[in-house]
Every structure is written in structure tokens, then in C-alpha cells.
Amino acid sequence: MPLGCLIGHMKDDATQSGASVPPDSDEWDAFARHLAGESTDAESARIEAILAGQPRDREVLAALGAALARMTREAPHDIDVEAALANVKARRDAAGVTPIDQNAKRWKGLSTSIQPRWRVPVPAIAAAGLLAIGVGSWLAVGGARAGKSVAPAARMLATGVGVRDSMELPDGSKVVLGPLSSITIASGYGATSRDVTIRGDLWFDIVHDERRPFTVRAGNAAVLDIGTRFAVRTDASEGVTVTVTEGSVSLRQANTPARQGVVLKAGDNGVVRIGGEVIARRGSATEDDVAWLAGRLVFREAPIDEVRTSIRRWYGIELRVTDPDIAGKRLTASFAGESSDRVLEVLRLAFGAEILRRGDTAIVRSARGRTRSK
């Protein structure tokens, strides 16, 4: 189920924060389906029975339902992301479509255009937005139940499978999110500091303020703005990666002093490896590193794990590789809104494999597997 990835990391966030969640944490999927109108009669009756004894939970879910209704009829305002993303336009109201359109993007003299080709069913978009709003609400309810004074809840924006979105932060900074990505804005943002926590693919255009440093926390990495535009990916095969398109940032392992950061400048790539090592690759950045802004999914000698992650986020398909020979291969390819069937066909040819599609799962195995199974 495409929502599974999003639900999973939201449950992790809520648990780590000590949040109150629905009575049985395994019910997250059921609650999302209930409000998205996807439940069976039996499941809806069961959810109603649970809520009957949980008035606070019912109140929260009612608020989420109202927010969900607004999401389906309101379009966000346009956001100008200048050099790396000009004229990001409002969601379009076509059935089952939430595209981002862009007239032009300039980055070091390179020009591309966003093609609004990615298509995602409305229920997936709605439930993703619902869960994004829901985490903040459950955090607030948890504090109230414990009898504690509750600070303004952290705000979150999360995208669904194949969906890109954008937002403007309270200080005027701009953010663009790739598919199945999220950003959480810390409570108290802008008072003395500006902290956000992210997952997935995100691009930032930050309003610099030395008095209130802007820090991105991504897995085991921390990125400190020094007045810049940059992209971060949290699930690259080698760790958390950063691409600087303008200005500079300081990149370091999380929970280490800011003075230990490695400064990356425009055109540099950096990575915080899973083990904590910080590497700067001077002048190695290319347009492909931010191709997702223009709706292109680009692989350059990408290992299977990276391909699997990206296909899940862009298409909602879980790749299962059952052959160790294929698991060691790498992929170089580019997609710009092709159908999932076309993408799987490209993978089949590139890997010399056989691919069996079963709903949202695609089993990738050696072509000779057909012979062995007889």
C-alpha cells in the first residue's frame, strides 16, 4: 500500500515524541482509510466503536476530517522559488492529479521545464495530507491528557506518492518537497533559531539571518545555512546527501558542535555517510542532482537500494529483488512521467531480468528463474 511508507515514519515520529496515538498503533491505516472514505462498512463500524469511548480522539478526527475536506477544494498560493524554481504554480483541479508546473528554472546557466505528468489517485493524496496534519494534533492531545501545558505543536507538511509540493516558511524561506517526503517545523520556530526536520527529497531557498540560524536535521546529519539554496536527500544509498546550488552551507554529523561542520559552496556535493563520516565533493554537482524539481527521476550508476527507494516514492511500487546477481547491479536511466509499466519494462531490460507485477509489488528475478520454476 503506497501510504505504508508515510504511515510508518509518522508512527515513528509520534512514538519518539511520546505522543498519544490511536488506541492500537496498528490502527493508523484504518483511521486514515476511515477519514479518506475508503473503509468497508465493517471497518467503519469498528472505528466508530473505538471512538465511542474516546471523545477526545473523536474531536481530533473531526477536525482532521474538516481539514481533509478543505484540502480537496482549496488550492495553495503560488510560491516564487526564483533561481532554482520559478513560478511554482497552484495544484490543478484535474481528477486525480496534483502537479507542479514551472515556466523556467535557472541554475548555473542550465534551463529545464517542469512537466506536470505525474499522476496519483486522489485518496492517496488526501490520506497523506490527513496523516501529516494528524501527527501534530495527536501530539497536542497527548499533552492535554497528561495535564501538561502544551506548547504550539510542531507543524508538518508531507507529500504522497508521486506528488511534489511547496511551502513558504514563516520567515519567508521557501521549501519544495519531492514525492513521499516530509518537513516538520519545530515549535517556537524563529524565536531564537529556525530548526526543521526532514525526510525524503527537499530543496530550500533560505532567508539568511545570523541572529536566528537555520538548521536542517536529516537522519544523522545537520545542515546549517550560511545564506544559500540547497537540496537535501535523506535516503541516498550512501547516507544523507546535500547539493548546494547557490551560496554555502555547513554540513556535519548530527549532535556534533557547529564548528566541526564542513563548508560546502555552490556546485559542491556533500554526504554524511551512515557511519558518520562527512565528505565534501568539490565541484561535482550537476543538474541531475536536482532533476526531481523538474519532474525527472534520474539514476546515475545507482545501486538497487536507491532504485527501490525512488520507485516506491514516485510510483508506490515495492521492488523485491530475489536474485543476488541482480541485487549487485547498478542502473543509469532517466524518467519523466512515464507509466509504471514502462518504468518496469526499462528495469527489466537494464537488469536482464524477469519482473512479475502483483499489485503494488514487483518481483525482480533472473530471467532464467522461469526455467528453474518449472
Report pLDDT digits (tens) over 122-162. 334 334 444 443 333 333 333 333 444 444 457 889 999 99
**Residue 244: exposed, middle, or buried by beta-carbon count in 10 A (0-12, 13-18, 19+)?**
buried
Which positions ≥6 away from 367 have C-beta within 8 Å?
A: 352, 353, 354
Under CATH, what is the fold of the domain 296-373?
Phage tail protein beta-alpha-beta fold (3.55.50)
- Cβ–Cβ < 8 Å for 32, 7: yes
Q: Where in the chain is the domain with CATH 2.60.120.1440?
A: 3-73+120-288
**pLDDT (tens digit per residue) in 196-236:** 999 999 999 999 998 999 999 999 999 999 888 999 999 99
The residue assigned the cell 536566528 is 212
pLDDT at 343: 97
Domain 3-73+120-288 class in CATH: mainly beta
Lowest mean pLDDT among 30-44, 203-217, 328-342: 30-44
Q: What is the mean pLDDT of residues 353-361?
A: 94
Nine cell digits for residue 133: 496534519
pLDDT band for position 42 (50/70/90)?
A: confident
pLDDT value at residue 29: 65
Instruction: Show the cell assigned to 116.
Output: 506536470
For residue range 98-126, list pLDDT tens digits in order. Answer: 333 333 333 333 222 223 334 333 334 33
Integer angstrom CA distances of residue 212 from 146, 161, 207: 32, 33, 10
When mean pLDDT is compared over 5-19, 47-61, 132-146, 353-367, the highest value belongs to 353-367
Residues of the chain with CATH 3.55.50.30: 296-373
Residue 77 has pLDDT above 50, yes or no: no
The arrangement of strands across the sheet holding 361-366 comes to: 318-321, 361-366, 353-358
